[in-house]
Every structure is written in structure tokens, then in C-alpha cells.
């Protein structure tokens, strides 16, 4: 059974395989999620590219789609690729998903969501879960959310990851949809009481250890989003609070960075561009003297097509985070 106590949300442009590789070295226990992958990209595109991952388990692949057969096909692909869970996106409010009638649009069609999840569940042995909002547009009272959970649970799904805001499909950007609709944690508390056989993971507005621990006293799990992307060491704080893991020292931070540098070097040798991996380091030293200079140096140099992995070392030296070549960490 997967540990859902702490998870990191699927975030477009953020939780790619490179960032997950980095996070896994920081947090052994967090359940990680991929960016949303639409079914058409897997079925008709370069599936290997979208399914690639390395040393990031436990990890769930999130799918965007509304055709039960296509979703079942992609769920099997996720299982075959070694993912530990497959998740259906019923919460993304972007124009892209509205055009395809997927994501948050599906909040208006709970019976279809149930059909999709049931077909996926019948196709694989790994868990099939759903990530939703609490409502959509004017369908935003608790009774509507209750009926949604009731319908989907009746179709056989028992894990609900809930961003505790409604989605507003017209008039708000995806970023505004993450901030403007008010958080209603009480909807999730009530649902957990009303559906005791189900598991509820709370998402939205959880950006520090204190909030995470408080909410864990009320719900089965919490999912963090932008906060660990801006400062991945928040996960180390949670590891210490929940599992008694020793907090990483400066030496540990540099050692992990050295291993990531080795990973970057190997990926560049395969044809990957540094910028796709270097951008995940911009928050690596958040709160440390020299962090801004480290971030600035990377930002100024990582977009060159020929940028090497040693750019990480150059950024450390330029920022004063290490003071000489002899202090640069050596990867394993």
C-alpha cells in the first residue's frame, strides 16, 4: 500500500522526470506525481519520452483524458513502465483541457468520471486514483461535491486527492484558479466523515510544515505543490518531522547536488539540454546566503545550447556557496 501521508502535486512545467530525480534524493517517503500527460500524447506520440523515469519511485503517472478506452490503454502503459499508481486529472482548469473536455470540465460529469476510473481500474493492478476540485463554476456547494464523491466511489474508486477550491472555467487563468477561489478545507473534512471507507488527500495552500502537520491530524494525507518547487528542502523538514530523519547538513546538500550534477552530465550525453534540468535548481539554496547569486548565475547561463553540467560548479563558485575548487563536492 502506498504511503499517501505526504505527496507532491502534478505540476505542468515542474514535476518532470528531472525534478523528481532531485526530489527523491531529498525525500525518501514522499509520493511523487508526474506532470499531466494527455492520452493522445501517449497513444499517438512518443510514449517513451512521456513515460521515462529513473529512481523516482514511489511515483504516480497523472493522465488527462475522458475516453474510458483510451485511459485504460494509457493506464496499462503506465503500469508497464513501472509507475506505482495512475491518476486521473479532474481538476486542471486551463484552456487546453477545456478545449478537450478533460481536466476540471469533468467535475460536471461525475458519471463519466466513474466510467473512466472503473475502466482504468479493470485494466491494471496498480491503484487508480482521482485528483479533483470541490466544484466547478456555479456547482460549488457541498451537496454537489458530496454527490460527485458518491458517484465516483460507487464506480470503485476509494482514493480522492482534492484541491479544496472550485474551478472557475471562464474569466480566470490557471494561476488565478490556484489563488482566487477560496479554499474550503471543511468540504474535505466533511467528505472524509461522510465516506469513511475512502482515503482523502488534501491539496491547496499547504506551504509549510506547521500547516501540513495540522491538516494531517484531520485528513489522511496532504499534497504540496508550488512550495516544494520553490524550496525543495521543505520536504526534508517534513521527513524530519514525520519520520525522525536527520536534517541534511551543508555537506549533504552539496553531496546531493553533486549526484544531480552527475545525472545532468549523463543526460546531456544523451542529448538533453542543460536548461531542462538546471531550472529545477533555482530554489535549491533558498534561505541560504548566496542563494540569489547562485540562482542569477544559473539563469544567465543555462539557456545556452552548449551549457555543460559543470555550470553548476561555476554557479557555486560565483555565488560564494563554496570558496574554492577544492571545496566542490564529488558525486558518487
Active-site residue set:
92
Angle at 250 between CA 244 and CA 254, to 5 degrees: 110
Which DSSP string corresponds to 278-294? HGGGTTTTTTSTTHHHH
Q: Which helix (H) or strand (E) holds 68?
A: helix 68-80
CB burial readout 21-58, b (16+ within 10 A) else e: bbbbbbbebbbbbbbbbbbebbeeeebeebbebeebeb
Ordered DSSP codes for 145-203: HHHHHHHHHHTT--EEEEESSEE--SS--HHHHTTSSPP-HHHHHHHHHH-TTSEEEEE
Amino acid at each position: 500500500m502506498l504511503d499517501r501521508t505526504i505527496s507532491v502535486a502534478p505540476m505542468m512545467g515542474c514535476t518532470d522526470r528531472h525534478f523528481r530525480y532531485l526530489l527523491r534524493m531529498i525525500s525518501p517517503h514522499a509520493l511523487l506525481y508526474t506532470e499531466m500527460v494527455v492520452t493522445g500524447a501517449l497513444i499517438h506520440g512518443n510514449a517513451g519520452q512521456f513515460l521515462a523515469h529513473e529512481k523516482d519511485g514511489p511515483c504516480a503517472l497523472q493522465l488527462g483524458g475522458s475516453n474510458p478506452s483510451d485511459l485504460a490503454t494509457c493506464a496499462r502503459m503506465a503500469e508497464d513502465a513501472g509507475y506505482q499508481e495512475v491518476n486521473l486529472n479532474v481538476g486542471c482548469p486551463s484552456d487546453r483541457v477545456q478545449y478537450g473536455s478533460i481536466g476540471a470540465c469533468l467535475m460536471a460529469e461525475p458519471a463519466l468520471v466513474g466510467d473512466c476510473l472503473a475502466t482504468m481500474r479493470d485494466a491494471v493492478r496498480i491503484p487508480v486514483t482521482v485528483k479533483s476540485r470541490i466544484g466547478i463554476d456555479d456547482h460549488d456547494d457541498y451537496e454537489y461535491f458530496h454527490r460527485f464523491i458518491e458517484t465516483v466511489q460507487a464506480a470503485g474508486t476509494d482514493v480522492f486527492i482534492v484541491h479544496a477550491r472550485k474551478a472557475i472555467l471562464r474569466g480566470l487563468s490557471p494561476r488565478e484558479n490556484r489563488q482566487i477561489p477560496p479554499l474550503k478545507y471543511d468540504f474535505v473534512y466533511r467528505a472524509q466523515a461522510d465516506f469513511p471507507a475512502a482515503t482523502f488527500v488534501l491539496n491547496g495552500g499547504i506551504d509549510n510544515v506547521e500547516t501540513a502537520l495540522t491538516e494531517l491530524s484531520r485528513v489522511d494525507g496532504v499534497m504540496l505543490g508550488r512550495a516544494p518547487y520553490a524550496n525543495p528542502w521543505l520536504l526534508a523538514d517534513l521527513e524530519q518531522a514525520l519520520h525522525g530523519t536527520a536534517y541534511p547538513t551543508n555537506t549533504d546538500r552539496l553531496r546531493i547536488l553533486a549526484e544531480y550534477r552527475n545525472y545532468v552530465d549523463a543526460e546531456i550525453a544523451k542529448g538533453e539540454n542543460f536548461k531542462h534540468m538546471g531550472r529545477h535548481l533555482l530554489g535549491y539554496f533558498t534561505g541560504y546566503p548566496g542563494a540569489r547569486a547562485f540562482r542569477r548565475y544559473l539563469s544567465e547561463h543555462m539557456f545556452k545550447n552548449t551549457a555543460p553540467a559543470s555550470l553548476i560548479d561555476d554557479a557555486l563558485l560565483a555565488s560564494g556557496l563554496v570558496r574554492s575548487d577544492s571545496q566542490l563536492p564529488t558525486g558518487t
